[in-house]
């Protein structure tokens, strides 16, 4: 008798996010860096779905003009026939995955009907929503229709999964579940809307967490629609995941469901073959930072650059959520301790964030320009002296060491004198590099604590209220290079579901400070014992009060300042060695587990 061997069903995965080809924040990093590991597993059966914003997409999206006869291509064609604007092509990032982008503007006229359905079918109120939420609503509905059409044609031939990130991609998820569409649905939240608001506004947020009433708070902060989308997506998905145990606790309270799984964030880690490579890069980029520091501080006073350490913090301007308040407090204490102990070290702290400003402070730009002029003049003099000295010595006109001054002509002497005159200043080096539109928590603190770059201060502040990019005239470095040139990244966040900034330090071999309230810090404490010895310092913000945490941090920073260069080099090696733990080829497995579980739960 002939046995019939059933062909295994094909598996297809759609990953849906607002930040596909559209960089806004951390979720872009998650999706983009995960692509190579996803393509490795899913090959042609992996698609990303995102919104279509022509200007943003132009630099990273390559359309496929001839719709192929593939299943996805056919559904794109079908949606176009239905009157929707849908783009199909490649995302031009490592891994080059196929993406389907939905033109929201072209379907905005459907908004009222979609809102009506959301109320009718899911009791989500969408009255008077802001423009961004309206876009999200239209996007969510287009995603829903695409997946519904896809499933109608292919669910018999393939196991279909959809991975949704954050509420902004998921307003159509409850509809898919309601209509029993044959797709396994996983929803991952990267924060909770309410957690973010409440952590910023309610003192003792974590102690009060179990007692919040989500609906009451959502109404209070005017975010009922957003919170409802998040809650409904979480409750209707076959599997709910979040990025850390810290956020899992919020999900229970605000979303009414304990996540099935934690899916920690990784990076596409690319390490050098030779260990010393990244150490060489540290030196190279540190020298670029030296140039800035020389130009910025030395017109007022000088210090020993060889005994100078560069600390930095960076991220969106959320003063207490990102721990800028604690960082400044700890730095003020560190400054005092360094002065008291007569330390010969200097710490320059860079605060890199984004705040409204008019322009770069003209004085800061001026000293940078004068430094370049000084360098040019010295190089010209060096060349002139070299050439003339060579001639004098070769022609044998002098048997004794000649007076080098005679080789510099009048023009260069004058030019050097003038440059030196415009170089020196009585004023203190600015602690903000830009003219801010208004004072903020950082400037307030620095003024009150008198942490304003006085000569005797051992901790200097450079507040740069703009993100670092290679076109920036002050540093001339991109963010990654800037990180490499520093000695320590400082991120003791109060509210941080995961937090990529410390991880970005780790993979570049730069030690970092994090907190046990950040997802990353919490995860490190779970998987590693000797994290501090390896250069990851975790501030205890869970059980210590603000002042105790500031003291712990000042201790850590002071200890770091006292380390010898040899120890710093070894510590950089140890921290860089951790990188592989966070490579997506290892961390993808958490998402694989979530998708397998969703498929199991979807089956009748």
Under the rule (CB under 6 A), what is the footprint of ligand G6P?
279-280, 282-283, 286, 487, 565, 568-569
Give the integer Cα–Cα distance in Å for 285 and 277: 13
Contacts of 255 by beta carbon, 8 Å cutoff, 6+ apart: 189, 192, 214, 230, 231, 234, 235, 240
* 234 binding ligand 1S3? (CB under 6 A): no
Q: b/e for 576-587, b at 16 or more Cβ within 10 A?
A: bebbebbbbeeb
CB of 497 to ligand 1S3, least distance (A): 4
172 forms part of the interface with ligand 1S3 (CB under 6 A):
no
Looking at the Cβ atoms of 279 and 343, the one nearer to ligand G6P is: 279
Whole-number Å distance between alpha carbons of 124 and 111: 14
Chain residue at closest Cβ approach to ligand G6P: 279
Of 338, 321, 310, 315, nearest to 510 (Cα)? Answer: 310
Q: Which of 245, 133, 281, 171 is nearest to 522 (CA)?
A: 245
Point out the residue whose Cβ comes nearest to ligand 1S3. 26
- Smallest gap from Cβ 290 to ligand G6P, in A, equals 10
Does residue 259 interact with ligand 1S3 by CB under 6 A? no
Distances, alpha carbon 524 to alpha carbons 94, 264, 383, 498, in Å:
27, 11, 54, 11
Q: Out of 172, 264, 295, 499, which residue is the one contacting ligand 1S3 (CB under 6 A)?
A: 499
Question: Could you say whether residue 521 binds ligand 1S3 (CB under 6 A)?
Answer: no
Residues of this chain, 276-335, that bind ligand 1S3 according to CB under 6 A: none
Indicate the residue among 274 and 401 with the shorter CB distance to ligand G6P: 274
Reference 335, options 460, 433, 219; nearest CA is 460
CB 484 to ligand G6P: min, Å: 10
Please say which residue, 191 or 251, places its beta carbon nearer to ligand 1S3: 191
Asked if 191 interacts with ligand 1S3 (CB under 6 A), we say yes
Q: Counting contacts by CB under 6 A, is residue 161 touching ligand 1S3?
A: no
Residue with tokens 């498929």: 599
Q: Are 164 and 216 in contact (CB under 8 A)?
A: no
Give me the phi and psi of 429, to 5 degrees please: -65, 135
**517 near ligand 1S3, judged by CB under 6 A:** no
Stretch that binds ligand 1S3, among 284-292, 409-417, 476-484, 495-503 (CB under 6 A): 495-503
Q: Pairing relation of β-strands 158-165 and 98-102?
A: unpaired
Look at residue 522 and give its three-state secondary structure.
Answer: helix
User: What is the C-alpha separation between 268 and 94, in angstroms, rounded?
Assistant: 9
Question: Minimum distance between the CB of residue 141 and ligand 1S3, rounded to whole angstroms?
Answer: 24
Residue 27 engages ligand 1S3 in binding (rule: CB under 6 A): yes
Nearer residue to ligand G6P within complex by CB, 235 or 279: 279
Q: Which of 32, 98, 190, 296 binds ligand 1S3 (CB under 6 A)?
A: 190
Burial class (CB in 10 A: 0-12, 13-18, 19+), 415: middle
Decide whether 377 or 501 has the Cβ nearer to ligand 1S3.
501
Q: Which of 217, 496, 522, 576 binds ligand 1S3 (CB under 6 A)?
A: 496
Which residue of 259, 429, 465, 497 would you call a contact of ligand 1S3, by CB under 6 A? 497
# residues contacting ligand 1S3 (CB under 6 A): 13
DSSP 5: P
The answer to whether 77 and 67 have CB atoms below 8 angstroms apart is yes
243 binds ligand 1S3 (CB under 6 A): yes
Which of ligand 1S3, ligand G6P, none does residue 71 bind to, with CB < 5 to 8 Å depending on kind? none
d(CA 282, CA 289): 10
Tokens linked to 426? 């009585």
Contacts with ligand 1S3 by CB under 6 A lie at: 25-27, 30, 190-191, 243, 265, 496-500
């Amino acid at each position: 008798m002939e046995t019939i061997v059933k062909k295994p069903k094909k598996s297809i995965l759609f990953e849906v996010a607002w930040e596909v080809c559209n960089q806004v924040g951390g979720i872009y990093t998650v999706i983009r860096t995960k692509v190579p590991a996803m393509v490795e597993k899913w090959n042609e059966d992996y698609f990303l779905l995102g919104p279509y914003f022509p200007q943003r997409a132009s630099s990273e999206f390559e359309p496929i003009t001839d719709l192929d006869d593939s299943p996805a291509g056919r559904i794109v064609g079908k949606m176009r026939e239905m009157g929707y604007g849908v783009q199909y092509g490649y995302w031009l990032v490592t891994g080059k995955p196929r993406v389907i982008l939905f033109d929201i503007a072209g379907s905005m006229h459907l908004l009222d009907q979609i809102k009506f359905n959301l109320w009718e079918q899911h009791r989500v109120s969408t009255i008077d929503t802001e423009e961004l939420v309206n876009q999200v609503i239209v996007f969510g509905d287009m995603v829903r229709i695409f997946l519904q059409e896809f499933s109608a044609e292919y669910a018999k031939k393939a196991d279909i999964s959809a991975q949704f990130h954050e509420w902004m991609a998921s307003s159509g998820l409850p509809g898919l579940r309601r209509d029993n569409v044959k797709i396994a649905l996983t929803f991952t939240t990267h924060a909770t809307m309410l957690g973010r608001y409440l952590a910023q506004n309610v003192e003792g947020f974590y102690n009060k967490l179990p007692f919040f009433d989500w609906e009451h708070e959502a109404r209070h902060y005017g975010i009922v629609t957003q919170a409802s989308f998040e809650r409904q997506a979480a409750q209707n998905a076959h599997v709910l995941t979040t990025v850390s145990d810290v956020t899992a606790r919020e999900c229970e309270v605000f979303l009414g469901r304990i996540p099935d799984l934690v899916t920690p964030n990784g990076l596409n880690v690319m390490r050098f073959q030779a260990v010393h490579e990244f150490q060489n890069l540290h030196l190279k980029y540190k020298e670029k930072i030296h140039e800035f520091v020389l130009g910025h501080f030395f017109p007022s006073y000088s210090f020993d650059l060889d005994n100078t350490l560069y600390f930095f913090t960076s991220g969106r301007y959320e003063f207490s959520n990102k721990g800028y308040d604690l960082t400044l407090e700890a730095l003020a204490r560190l400054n005092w301790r360094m002065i008291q102990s007569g330390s010969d070290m200097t710490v320059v702290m860079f605060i890199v964030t984004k705040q409204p400003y008019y322009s770069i402070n003209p004085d800061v730009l001026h000293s940078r320009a004068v430094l370049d002029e000084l360098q040019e003049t010295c190089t010209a003099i060096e060349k002139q002296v070299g050439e003339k000295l060579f001639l004098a010595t070769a022609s044998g006109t002098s048997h004794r060491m000649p007076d080098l001054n005679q080789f510099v002509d009048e023009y260069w002497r004058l030019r050097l004198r003038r440059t030196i005159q415009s170089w020196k200043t009585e004023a203190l080096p600015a602690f903000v590099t830009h003219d801010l539109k208004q004072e903020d928590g950082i400037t307030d603190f620095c003024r009150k604590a008198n942490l304003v770059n006085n000569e005797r201060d051992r901790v200097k502040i450079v507040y740069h209220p703009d993100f670092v990019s290679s076109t920036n005239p002050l540093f001339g470095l991109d963010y990654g290079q800037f990180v490499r040139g520093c000695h320590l990244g400082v991120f003791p966040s109060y509210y941080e579901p995961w937090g990529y900034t410390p991880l970005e330090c780790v993979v570049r071999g730069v030690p970092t400070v994090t907190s046990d309230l950040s997802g990353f810090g919490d995860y490190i404490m779970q998987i590693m014992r000797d994290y501090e010895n390896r250069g990851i310092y975790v501030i205890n913000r869970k059980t210590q009060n603000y002042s105790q945490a500031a003291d712990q941090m000042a201790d850590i920073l002071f200890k770091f300042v006292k380390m010898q260069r040899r120890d710093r080099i070894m510590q950089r090696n140890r921290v860089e060695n951790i990188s592989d733990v966070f490579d997506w080829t290892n961390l993808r497995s958490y998402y694989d587990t979530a998708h397998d579980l969703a498929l199991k739960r979807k089956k009748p």
